[in-house]
Structure 1
Amino acid sequence: MKKVFLKDIAEELNVSKTAVSLVLNNKGDENKISQETQQRIIEFARKHNYVPNQLARGLSRGKSETIGLIIPNISDTFYSKIAGYVELKAKDLGYTVLFSSSNEDPKKEGELIRSMLNRQVEGLIIASTQQNLKEIESLKQDKFPFVLIDRHYPESDTNYVVVDNFNGLKTVTEHLLELGRRKIGFVSLKPGLEAIKQRLLGYQSALEDYKIDYNKELVKELSPKNYEEEIKSAISELIKFPNSVDSIVFSTHYLTSVGLRELKKKNVKVPQEVAIVSFDELTAFDLVDPPITSVIQPVKDIANIAVDILINEIEGKENGFENKRILDSKLAIRKSCGTF
């Protein structure tokens, strides 16, 4: 069925677009539009399944009822899940969501923020590259509602919802230590993001608690843009005989995925020869052989709390809701650690 617009109703019934708009927004009586005309408009709209333009309606009231979500990569399962939950929560609260991906490019992120503002969004949820402090401070100065998720700027007082990366990584490293593993490799990204820095600190803290010296040779920091190539040599160095590690902690789910592939190519037995643990997970991690022990992040909570914080700000509600949240993760113990 062809979509019907306000102008179509107006032309068909020989009335003004203004009259149609007023009637469909329940303002016919106060604007002295006759009951007959109101009835004709309402019946025609129902018969032709007229769907109002929410953005236009919102703007007429000074509101767009739209929020923006900027994430690094929509193809990353972690962020795609967040996007899905944000959309559902926002819909429950009467808002629609515009999605964009920065591709970890700070310049593009800045452009997206400005583009979202030009499109009249009422607030923003941003998983930032952490290289756009100027844009973030500008939003603060303008008192524009926004919430940072997954990553935030420690030096800037903003709303945020993040996971306790330090303790999450510490817990998974401690699990290996409790099993008797003592030569634990750590494969991560070069520490540009605060989350990655905190995960390294969690790894170091677990070793320190068990009186194990930190060995920089067992830490492999890879380029975010070239990790699939660099991980080949990283794995080779970690499993080199006779100084092979007995376990490896991967700081992200995608590093775990490519790392596991490399280990299998080299016929390394998991967990008999090398145990594996992952910070964050893919759906397949509980299906592969062996299933991968993982830190599970509270993705739904991150999304729901971020939307709640943002809508509270947009609507000016003061209900004591905490606008800075650090959420706990949980450890899913599977067979990739084995016993030792």
Structure 2
Amino acid sequence: MGKKVKNKDIAARLGLSGTLVSLVLNNKADQHGIKKETQERVLAVARQMGYFNAAAEKGEPVPAEEKPGIIGMVVPSMNDPFIYEITPYLQKAFSSIGLGFSVFTRDPDDMRFNRLTTSLKKFFSGMILVGNAADDSVVRALNRDSYPVVLLEKSIKRMRLNTVCSDRIAGAAIMTQHLTSLGLKNLLIISGEDSASYDKEMLEELRNSTKKSRNFDSVHFTVAGLPKAGDKFDFAAIENFLRPPHRSDAIIVLNSQLVFPLYLALQAKNIRIPQDVALVSMEDGIGFDLLTTPVTRLRRPLAAMSLKVANIIWSEVKNKGKSKYKRQVNMAPELLIRSSCGSYLK
């Protein structure tokens, strides 16, 4: 049997007081106003040092550590690159806590999905609702029942909920500043037909950011459909914006799934990237660096978002969905500069 892990050992590792560590481990942290971030640090180090395992061997109750369960993540579609990019990070984060993790798609039939959600509440210890999978009626029902839930890349301003999102305001500002630094003056912003409602918030932030900049001569917005298998991008949706009098010199794509079809359509029309038009994406996508002209884009902080989601949902499970504090976390994306924006030409 290994050495028993004591509160003072955890306190020494973190540089905190033994009293604070004791309050966290005995579920009294909220009562004494200890910050959630501090609680998460204490519990994470306690798990790493084997504190909970040692207590379990002795048969002692551990108030702060719930029995391992399963967290379900509801996604609008498995076709979204964001889903299969963040899933491995979430899997790792939940595994470190001792929780199982499962992913399933939202049923397009609202009534059927509502019934399914009711059933899944009995199976999952908590749920993560991603993007458009988090509709108001489902979220309201889960919140009313004090069910542990976290919204990922979705916020509902009318309700007090735990949310973890990439910071769209920061993202819009970062991309706008970058395009300004390159001297680009005429922008075309493209949103996907299927994701128009989800893209609306980012579109609004870009609109505000470009207005504040005052460095652009024109900013146009359009919607393009995602081609089905075997089909080509509808170039007619953007052709007028690439000719006088508009003559856009930069295209901002909101939905990463549109980047490849658009890229191929521009090549087919002998429009060079970035010599004739710069191309950037507000989302990361798998394979963007493998293109002949790698794509400049924003990348979400996937690892940090996953850890934050795991810690919040774990805290909610521990407190049976009745945590005193609900957190709205926004994390700034990272700008990955590649040759598609024309930075190497400047």
Determine if the TM-score, normalized by the shorter chain, exceeds 0.5.
Answer: yes
Measured after TM superposition, the shift of residue 332 of structure 1 is: 0.7
Residue identity in the other structure for 1:135: V
**Residue among 263, 268, 271 paired with 2:271:** 268
Structure 1 residue 239 and structure 2 residue 242: aligned? yes
Measured in 2, the distance between the counterparts of 1:213 and 1:106 equals 43
Structure 1 residue 205 and structure 2 residue 190: aligned? no
Measured after TM superposition, the shift of residue 112 of structure 1 is: 4.2
1:285 aligns with 288
**Any idea what SS the aligned residue of 2:73 has?**
strand
Residue range with higher mean Cα deviation, 287-296 or 63-72:
63-72
Would you say the 8 A contact 1:187–1:249 is kept in 2? yes
Measured after TM superposition, the shift of residue 81 of structure 1 is: 2.1
Q: Give a deviation string over 1:137-178, Cα, whole Å, max 9, x none.
A: 111111000000011212221111001112202321321122
2:327 aligns with 323
Measured in 1, the distance between the counterparts of 2:174 and 2:214 equals 16
Listed as ranges, the matches of 1:215-254 within 5 Å are 218-222=220-224, 231-241=234-244, 243-254=246-257
Distance 1:103 1:226, change over 3 A: farther
Measured in 2, the distance between the counterparts of 1:144 and 1:301 equals 24
2:301 aligns with 298
Measured in 2, the distance between the counterparts of 1:147 and 1:128 equals 11
**Any idea what SS the aligned residue of 2:261 has?**
helix
Listed as ranges, the matches of 1:24-43 within 5 Å are none
Distance 1:285 1:230, change over 3 A: closer
Listed as ranges, the matches of 1:116-135 within 5 Å are 116-118=120-122, 120-129=123-132, 132-135=135-138
2:192 aligns with 189
Distance 1:257 1:163, change over 3 A: same
Measured in 2, the distance between the counterparts of 1:223 and 1:103 equals 22
Q: Give a deviation string over 1:211-253, Cα, whole Å, max 9, x none.
A: 257857x211245798976742223222234532111001121
Q: Give a deviation string over 1:271-328, Cα, whole Å, max 9, x none.
A: 0000011111123212212111110111222222111100111112999987221111
**Any idea what SS the aligned residue of 2:335 has?**
strand
Structure 1 residue 79 and structure 2 residue 87: aligned? no
Would you say the 8 A contact 1:130–1:151 is kept in 2? no
Structure 1 unmatched runs, 5+:
1-61
Residue identity in the other structure for 1:220: T
Measured in 1, the distance between the counterparts of 2:227 and 2:317 equals 36
Residue range with higher mean Cα deviation, 69-78 or 330-339:
69-78
Scaled by the length of structure 2, the TM-score of the pair is 0.71
Measured after TM superposition, the shift of residue 205 of structure 1 is: 2.5
Would you say the 8 A contact 1:86–1:307 is kept in 2? yes
**Residue among 164, 167, 178 paired with 2:181:** 178
Residue identity in the other structure for 2:86: I
Would you say the 8 A contact 1:151–1:162 is kept in 2? yes
Distance 1:121 1:111, change over 3 A: same
2:144 aligns with 141
Would you say the 8 A contact 1:77–1:282 is kept in 2? yes
Structure 2 unmatched runs, 5+:
1-65
Measured in 1, the distance between the counterparts of 2:183 and 2:133 equals 37
Would you say the 8 A contact 2:90–2:306 is kept in 1? yes
**Any idea what SS the aligned residue of 2:340 has?**
coil
2:161 aligns with 158
2:60 aligns with none
Q: Which runs of 4+ in 1 moved over 6 A?
A: 191-194, 224-230, 317-322
Distance 1:105 1:334, change over 3 A: farther
Q: Give a deviation string over 1:51-93, Cα, whole Å, max 9, x none.
A: xxxxxxxxxxx96711111112223221012222222211211
Question: How much identity, in percent, do the aligned residues show?
Answer: 22
Measured in 1, the distance between the counterparts of 2:74 and 2:156 equals 16
Would you say the 8 A contact 1:105–1:129 is kept in 2? no
Would you say the 8 A contact 1:291–1:334 is kept in 2? yes
Distance 1:231 1:177, change over 3 A: farther
Structure 1 residue 90 and structure 2 residue 84: aligned? no
Measured in 2, the distance between the counterparts of 1:165 and 1:321 equals 23
Measured in 1, the distance between the counterparts of 2:149 and 2:272 equals 47
Equivalenced residue count is 277
Scaled by the length of structure 1, the TM-score of the pair is 0.72
Measured in 2, the distance between the counterparts of 1:243 and 1:305 equals 43
Measured after TM superposition, the shift of residue 106 of structure 1 is: 5.1
Find the structure with the greater CA-based Rg: 1
Measured after TM superposition, the shift of residue 126 of structure 1 is: 0.8
Measured after TM superposition, the shift of residue 329 of structure 1 is: 0.4
**Any idea what SS the aligned residue of 2:103 has?**
strand
